[in-house]
Structure 1
Amino acid sequence: MGRASAPYLLILPSILFAFWIIGYPIYDMANMSVHAVNRFGKTAAFNDFANYQRLFSHQLFIGCLIRTLVWTVFVVGGTVLLSVPIALILNEKFYGRTLARIIIMLPWAVSLTMTGIVWRWSLNGQFGMVNATLSEIGVLSAPVEWLATSTTAFPILIAIGILVSIPFTVTVILGGLASLQADVFEAAKIDGASGWQRFRYLTLPLIRPFLNIVLVLNFIYVFNSFPLIWVMTQGDPANSTDILVTWLYKLAFRYGELGIASALSIVMFLILLALTITYAALAMRNERSTV
């Protein structure tokens, strides 16, 4: 009995410490979300879930929620769709492959804040590099304020979000491709399987665990992605590029509505938890059905 319980006793301090690190902030945020809170973070009396009522009735909540889901789905989906063929190409042997891998990984070495600053300058309507280049080649006849209108700002943010998410995703998928046995693919090729058939029936199922990893992690990262949108637009114009996390920052630190911000934090946490558990359950069920 003692020998069987020894491993659990050895890791118990780490588990308790991790639980405290993660659990206490969640408890504190949940406590603030059901109490009246002043702008300095001091809680008062229980307010009968008034913070949640104000949150759900707020005119910006539904718009930010829908925009967050659109942002997350398009960025994560676009990242995976582009990263899989890039990883397949980089997994092949060709002259300059090492340099190509370095170039793909370079955006990962730059912080999102710096990336946002560079793109904000490039897309500036008066002296930006994008307008200057498009004007030089005759595409534009007049400067365009790319980040000043919602019709162009949000799609541009999604495109840049995909760009900065590709390096991590390609790295994980490359790791999955490197773990595959070449003998299986050589046997399939000898049996007459085409390149598409090898990809569909061998590569894709074998790297599915790695795709599950990048889907879940990218979903969490992108859902909570703050620096890129904040640096480039701060949710403007007229909150048209605000997602939940940028609106949360405004509620807490610009408007001093810490109670509503706490309620929004709990709602975001529950959304992420529910979607992650659902996806994990579906992925596990699919794996069991294929065994």
Structure 2
Amino acid sequence: MSRPASASAPAALPASGSVSPRMTTPWLLIAPSLILALFIISYPIFNIVYQSIHEVSRFGAIRDFNGLQNFYTVFSDPVFLDATRRTIVWTAFVVGGTVLISVPVALVLNQDFHGRGVARTIVMLPWSVSLTMTAVVWRWAFNDDYGMVNVTLQRLGLIGGPIHWLATPELAFPVEIAVGILVSIPFTVTILLGGLSSVPGDIYEAARIDGASAWQQFRQLTLPLLRPFINMAILLNVIYVFNSFPIIWVMTQGGPDNGTHILVTYLYELGFRLGRPGQAAAVSLIMLVMLFVFSMVYLRMQPSKEGDAA
């Protein structure tokens, strides 16, 4: 008895060169949101590029095409060159100090002790406060006459008179770096705690049985397993700190004598105080290129480092 023809016929295959509906359907579903995201990202970049190659009035009116004149003007400005150097110093010290402090803090908060939840809440609480309000509080704290820092140091007998913390760039900029580190710790600790929670406890038990010390466990177990999270924290903090505006602007507004300007505060002053939107757009593109180059170089370095470590 012969079987029905439908039972023995092979499944129909898509013709050569045709695309299966199963492959196109996901793209059709995400196409609206993808187009919207591309528009949201690309339009501001196009607008900034357009402004950077035109003369723009202080009220935003586009005038004559001037090519790269805005870039030439910016690069010839000594304030821009100093702000670029200071931005690199600001980013390196704030991110480096944040990571160095956050790693031991995360290790302590990852331990099981009484009151751990309260300790975690205290560490994370500054993250919920506006960065601008935090900068205002620290500006009051470093006030020459009634600031908490001067009053405390004088009562302890450590200084004989008030120190003008924010009146000179030599003191103001390190103070702002310290504040930048303090406000960046909660975010970094959160990332590192997430990484520590994924580390299995069995490997530490085995290491203790083998006689490994606490330092050996940290260096050979914790640090390698935590490295991807540290890399992610560094990259995100670089992007965040590089563009961080409120701390420096609220505390010193780039002064005194332009001595604490970084690129983002210099950009704001160009665009909104000096009325040079075209030059401000040029600075925005320079910052975008700097961040893009750093991100690409840093991400490309990670696989080779992990491969070497393995």
**Could you tell me the TM-score, scaled by structure 1's length?**
0.98
CA distance in 2 between counterparts of 1:203 and 1:12 reads 42
2:103 to 59, 62, 84: 84
Q: Does 1:286 align with 2:271?
A: no
SS state at 2:60 partner: coil
SS in 2 for 1:44: strand
1:212 corresponding residue in structure 2: 231
- 1:286 Cα deviation from its structure 2 partner: 2.3
Are residues 93 and 55 of structure 1, via their aligned partners in 2, closer, same or farther at CA, if it must alter by over 3 Å? Answer: same
Pair 1:111-2:111 in alignment:
no
* Structure-2 residue corresponding to 1:237: 256
1:59-78 to 2 correspondence within 5 Å?
59-78=78-97
> Percent of pairs identical after alignment?
55
- Of 151, 163, 187, the residue aligned with 2:170 is 151
Shift of 1:287: 3.0
TM-score by length of 2: 0.92
Could you tell me which residue of structure 2 aligns to residue 15 of structure 1?
Answer: 34
- Take 1:113 and 1:65, find their aligned partners in 2: how far apart are those partners? 23
Q: CA deviation at 1:288?
A: 4.0
1:259 aligned residue: 278
* More moved, 186-195 vs 170-179: 186-195
Q: Confirm or deny that 1:162 pairs with 2:173.
A: no
Higher deviation after alignment, 62-71 or 92-101 = 92-101
CA deviation after TM superposition for structure 1 residue 285, in Å: 2.6
Deviations 1:179-203 (A, max 9, x none): 1111111111211221111111111
Determine which of 253, 259, 267 is the counterpart of 1:248: 267
The Cα of 1:19 is off from its aligned counterpart by 1.0
Give the match's secondary structure for 1:36.
Answer: strand
Q: Does 1:190 align with 2:209?
A: yes
2:197 matches 1:178: yes
Instruction: Specify which of 37, 43, 60 is matched with residue 56 of structure 2.
Output: 37
The alpha carbon displacement at 1:290 in A equals: 4.5
For 1:201, give the aligned amino acid: Q
Residue 228 of structure 1 pairs with residue 228 of structure 2: no
Match of 1:27 in 2: 46
Distance in structure 2 (CA, Å) of the matches to 1:139 and 1:82: 25
Q: Which runs of 5+ in 1 are unaligned?
A: none
Which segments of structure 1 move beyond 2 Å, counting only runs of 4 or more?
284-291
> Bigger shift: 121-130 or 4-13?
4-13
Q: Deviations over 1:200-245 (max 9, x none)?
A: 1111111111111111110001000001111111011001011000
Closer, same or farther: CA 103–184 of 1 in aligned 2, 3 Å: same
SS at 1:45 equivalent: strand
For 2:63, what is the secondary structure of its paired residue? strand
- Paired letter, 2:124: M
Q: Render the CA deviation track for 1:103-162: whole Å, top value 9, x for unaligned.
A: 101111111111111111111001111111111111111111110011110000000100
What is the CA-CA distance between 1:256 and the residue it aligns to?
Answer: 0.3
| Structure of larger gyration radius | 2
Q: In structure 1, how many angstroms separate the alpha carbons of the residues matched to 2:73 and 2:31?
A: 41
Instruction: Give, in angstroms, the shift of residue 289 of structure 1.
Output: 4.2
**Cα distance in 2 for residues equivalent to 1:210 and 1:47:** 45
2:146 corresponds to which of 127, 146, 161: 127
User: Is 2:148 the partner of 1:142?
Assistant: no
More deviation in 76-85 or 196-205? 196-205
Structure 2 distance, partners of 1:74, 1:14, is 38
What per-residue deviation string (whole Å, max 9, x for no partner) do you get for residues 20-69 of structure 1?
A: 11111011001100111111112122212100000101121110000000
Q: Which residue of 1 aligns with 2:296?
A: 277
Aligned length: 291
Q: Distance in 2 between matches of 1:287 and 1:41?
A: 48
Pairing 1:99–2:118 present: yes
Deviates more, 1:267-276 or 1:205-214: 205-214
